[in-house]
Structure 1
Amino acid sequence: MRVALFVTCVNDTLYPRTGRAVVTLLERLGVRVDFPAAQSCCGQPQFNTGYRREAEPLVRRHAAAFAGYDYVVTPSGSCAAMVRDHHPRLAPRDTAAAAVAERTYELTEFLVDVLGVTDVGAYYPHTVTYHPTCHGLRALRLGDRPRRLLAAVEGLRLAELPGAEECCGFGGTFAVKNAAVSAAMGADKARSITATGAAAVCTVDSSCGMHISGILARQGSPVRPVHLAEILAATKETHR
């Protein structure tokens, strides 16, 4: 199978280790991963802010960059939802956009639904709590896929997060336009995370992890954010 990594802007710019973790993980599972250099932003910031016309060229660019691949895998629930839900409607005459949208999978979907695995051979000897991000929970309906993957990680103890399904308050440009509300929501989420006693909080979206991370730091919390891909890519060798 031909598999391409759609790394996303946030990961490429701020969290490249997440993209590297995806490649490490998939290669360990026998999947060869390509990285199309022509990929860029999927247009989600523009679309969410109301600039539909400005998003359309990015949709066509995305479709061209990932044409020909059997699967496009991304470590981002929000970007996967953007491609699947909105790209075909933004470019209705572009058959390539619709085709790429159908072949796009968030990482946990690809692992569980396509590869058929939950135990990926990971080792992570820490207590972790899981925050289901809004796009993963409501748009993609990831369900228990992330939790099933975490439950199979050797050494990991999963701590339940109170109010797990409540939004962290990020919401992309929502955090900029409604800063006070966003910060208040994030503060509630961060306090709930700290109360679990976990060493780390896991998400499937680096953008939400970034928002939560900043608030945890301001509250003086010892909990660190980590992307699910980084946990699944970890082994006993990486912890030595």
Structure 2
Amino acid sequence: MQRQQFEKILTELLQPGRIKDFCPNGLQVEGSETIEKVVTGVTASYALLKRAIENNADAVLVHHGYFWKNEAYPIVGMKQKRIKALIDNNINLFAYHLPLDIHETLGNNAQLAKLLDIQVTGPLELDNPLSVSLTGELAQPVDGVAFASRIQQSLQREVLHIPGSSNRPIKTVAWCTGGGQGYIELAAEQGIDAFITGEASEQTTHVAREMDIHFFAAGHHATERYGIKAVGEYLAKEYGLDVEFIDIDNPV
């Protein structure tokens, strides 16, 4: 497949123009004109690039790419090493950040809901259909300890659980994969029983306790594995590409 066709497929699928982001979405580093082997992963770390080189990849497709807003411009140090590895090996780098979070079926939030058996009911930001945080319901109410165990078993990652003051059963849930802890107050204001994300801040504990909402942090990386993996599987199924998901473990 030609690189231009590959990018067109991803653009039509993920529609990056729908949402304002903190980085460029799409082709970030140009490589081979022909793409046959694709490696997918959460972050375009040097460790992932080494694996892509070893596997003779023509393209790397990730959620966390390069050129973030407010980062330093010079291509030196770690950034130079990563980009040089791509250029020296003629590998394309494609990255999709918020467009991957919000995709209705393949996105990080949608895939996490599928994994945890949560029925999506809508956006957490009620006036924003492209909200990066969703709401949903469990088929049956569960207590906080049982739900923490479900998350931990599904993600194979230790979960931080902060119960609300009443430690009430959980039926309604809101979530935002990655670093979405800032949405906990909005979830609590809507009377939602629990909020799931990847990370916690110091103040998150106090919000959970004082606004009476269960809080679960299950890892930024762990909660965002599944969108990019699903996109890769879609590309393999629909277009016959050789796609391999490589999980470079990250405890955060």
> Which TM bucket (shorter chain)?
0.3 to 0.5
Q: Which has the larger radius of gyration?
A: 2
Q: Which has the higher helix share?
A: 1
Q: Which has the higher strand share?
A: 2
